[in-house]
Structure 1
């Protein structure tokens, strides 16, 4: 019960804040163009308290999920001749800016949060360059069924050359249940292997069961542990363990567990130098041999304001491109609608990330804000993007669309949004049932290289 209360709290905080920021954008733009704003409400429903300043009533309402702005002379105002400070009396380009200001504020909030987090020390993942190499293949997975084996280098998918592991994983994620052609380099041969990624039962993303080879680094070292005694330091890159090349964190764990109480040779890279060390794994109270390190992937921290600004734009670009590809896949029915998240999933994910600290919560808030801004730009009547498209059509045609046409468009848009809301809420409930009915809270997922699977 406490978890549900926490999730409800975070849902109110997140959606309330983000929708308020969105409406604040509309409010500021309307005021800048001299539009009379009659109500600026924090929350929905019955008025709790407030005050009036000039023509605007500022109020706090009973339902704390966002807010709204009511402008004089909006699209279907009954006034025949709009007054000079009415919204519809303003030039169309100004009305476009007013509609655009809401999503822009959400995007701006995301950029500001990311920028602040980077300056505050948030680490940035350093991606291994080049086509991914298969470290291991999960038993029973799509890749195993297709004949992919460890050591294969995947150079292209469906004719698209691969520049890094992240690009490969995104292509797989957006292709669940659809056949992909992997161009594989195996020794001196180059093969084309068809693979049909499975669809994750909860999240709807494609999973092929490939664990790519990645650079493994030491995130932390336990004081007094075998690794510390051997001279291992945080930031070291593991090259060899027990004479075997390190392909992922699992490969390190396997070697350590085979050598309980026996010396294990370690070769690490530190500041460009190769260093040979020896550690003797100890068996912990659970009977598991460990050397006392936490493993992760290479990261870096930004160097100054300019670097933080550049990295912020890189993150925004990546999210924008991913969203465009995701929406395109949904429209073409090439991506499962299970990838969508509604309020229940937002509450669960936000509460989970908030449990990891302020940085994780702020990053999640930025991500949701960015996605909310992009969602509102979709060309669906009722959404800001739909209103903008109508105004642009009038600007190009140099005439007003008939009122009845606008009404029908908004009715269609409202129906689409309602259907989408029903679908997303239904999927949220479905996911919640599956997650809570699983023995460990959630079905096992394919390991992602962004996280080390073990702490040897």
Structure 2
């Protein structure tokens, strides 16, 4: 049960912050946001506040921000259509009923001759006496169809009406907020748990390994390797990895004295690359310092962004296969294992997942944020947007392919963990 709660909180937070980025920048650009949704499928909970409907849906596989002007969002009134209208005090249309059976004495019925609910905001038609009438439509008018109400979207409130930079920033803001979330999680770890000092102090020497055979002991403070001064554990670890099978002279501080050791790292192989290992474990000392916590947050965010891009490169070059990918099932199982090591390890895992989500969404693939940004790049180069129908078809195909990939990855996870 604890794993389920941890998974829901982590995954829900990542999706929430991703969509929050889209939402806030859409609002800043003046775009009408119709819905802010966490999950897909049927609604579990919903709350309308202002012009936006906030929903939680049954399938926790993502979320979305539905903006005016996207897809088939606009409402059109065709000539000959009979509608009911209600006027406000300025004789502007404030509500339009598309269904014929309306029990409201204030409703005026007319047969539409012309109408524009987007740019010119008017409706013209024949009233019940056969006279031609014309009314302006209020900018906040509501269309009611079989009890479901939709706020109209004047063109200047629609996504496509905004400058290219505003549209691109609205889309980019989702992944950006995932990176920001990761930074704040790492910052919280630094403030609450402490910032690793990264001092090159040996925590544990493993039996029958090069360090043990050379006489290294727990608590040794590494000062030099082959005459080169060592300032951090990262620096020491990199030297060991880069010198497999080569004898290294080390100077360590032990009980206030310098001790010289000769160590030859074992040679190990991974993905065709050789690296050295001497058989020691390391747990960095920590210190609580607000300024260092900020630096730690930024450094960890950058480090994980770099690592994930490196892993993507390995996937592209074939060093990883699709079998190495994990979907929701794999993430759930990994969360279950990580949770056993405590809250700070779980927070670190959440930050890494947030960065991973941000990067995955920036990939230039149809249906992803990166795919939409790629179309914006084409628009900037061509000087005009790509045809909406063509773009929509490409994104549709992309969604289908992503769904197939999700099914394959999920099936691999199920076989890996349950069979």
Q: TM-score, normalised by structure 2?
A: 0.62
Would you say 1:107 and 2:145 are equivalent positions?
no
**In the alignment, which of 18, 35, 38 is matched to residue 39 of structure 1?**
35
Q: Secondary structure at the match of 2:157?
A: coil
Higher relative contact order (CA 8 A, sep 6+): 1
From the superposition, tell whether residues 166 and 414 of structure 1 become closer, same or farther in structure 2 (CA, over 3 Å). Answer: farther
Q: What corresponds to 1:403 in structure 2?
A: 388
2-structure distance, mates of 1:166, 1:194: 14
Question: Alpha-carbon deviation of 1:164?
Answer: 5.1
Q: What corresponds to 2:405 in structure 1?
A: 420
Question: Alpha-carbon deviation of 1:66?
Answer: 4.8
Kept after mapping to 1: 8 A contact 2:245/2:267: no
The Cα offsets for residues 103-153 of structure 1, whole Å up to 9 and x where unpaired, read as 111111111010011111245272759xxxx9849xxxxxxxxxxxxxxx9
**In the alignment, which of 327, 339, 343 is matched to residue 324 of structure 2?**
339
Q: What corresponds to 1:53 in structure 2?
A: 49
**In the alignment, which of 175, 197, 201 is matched to residue 270 of structure 2?**
197
The Cα offsets for residues 255-305 of structure 1, whole Å up to 9 and x where unpaired, read as xxxxxxxxxxxxxxxxxxxxxxxxxxxxxxxxxxxxxxxxx5251324522
2-structure distance, mates of 1:78, 1:41: 19
Q: What corresponds to 2:282 in structure 1?
A: 297
**In the alignment, which of 18, 24, 28 is matched to residue 22 of structure 1?**
18
The Cα offsets for residues 217-269 of structure 1, whole Å up to 9 and x where unpaired, read as xxxxxxxxxxxxxxxxxxxxxxxxxxxxxx53xxxxxxxxxxxxxxxxxxxxx
Within 5 A, what are the aligned runs for 1:109-188?
A: 109-122=181-194, 124=196, 126=198, 136=209, 165=237, 184-186=245-247
Question: Alpha-carbon deviation of 1:362?
Answer: 1.6
**In the alignment, which of 280, 304, 308 is matched to residue 323 of structure 1?**
308
Q: What corresponds to 1:371 in structure 2?
A: 356
Question: Alpha-carbon deviation of 1:187?
Answer: 8.1
Would you say 1:87 and 2:159 are equivalent positions?
yes
2-structure distance, mates of 1:75, 1:389: 18
Q: TM-score, normalised by structure 1?
A: 0.58
From the superposition, tell whether residues 362 and 411 of structure 1 become closer, same or farther in structure 2 (CA, over 3 Å). Answer: same
Q: Secondary structure at the match of 2:320?
A: coil
2-structure distance, mates of 1:8, 1:307: 33
Q: Secondary structure at the match of 1:344?
A: helix
Question: Alpha-carbon deviation of 1:45?
Answer: 2.7
The Cα offsets for residues 383-438 of structure 1, whole Å up to 9 and x where unpaired, read as 1111111112101221111234313421342243223213321321232146xxxx
Report how many residues are paired.
Answer: 303
Question: Alpha-carbon deviation of 1:91?
Answer: 1.0
Q: Secondary structure at the match of 1:341?
A: coil
Within 5 A, what are the aligned runs for 1:246-261?
A: 248=280
Q: What corresponds to 2:8 in structure 1?
A: 12
Kept after mapping to 1: 8 A contact 2:186/2:297: yes
2-structure distance, mates of 1:34, 1:168: 55
The Cα offsets for residues 352-375 of structure 1, whole Å up to 9 and x where unpaired, read as 222332222222111111111111
Larger deviation, residues 425-434 vs 346-355? 425-434
The Cα offsets for residues 427-453 of structure 1, whole Å up to 9 and x where unpaired, read as 21232146xxxxxxxxxxxxxxxxxxx
The Cα offsets for residues 319-366 of structure 1, whole Å up to 9 and x where unpaired, read as 111111111111121223343221112111212222332222222111
2-structure distance, mates of 1:319, 1:419: 28
Question: Alpha-carbon deviation of 1:94?
Answer: 0.6
Question: Alpha-carbon deviation of 1:30?
Answer: 0.7
From the superposition, tell whether residues 164 and 355 of structure 1 become closer, same or farther in structure 2 (CA, over 3 Å). Answer: same
2-structure distance, mates of 1:62, 1:399: 39
User: Where does structure 1 lack aligned partners over 5 or more consecutive residues?
Assistant: 138-152, 154-161, 172-181, 199-205, 214-246, 249-295, 435-456
| Structure richer in strand, relative to its length | 2
Within 5 A, what are the aligned runs for 1:260-271?
A: none
Rg: which structure is higher? 2
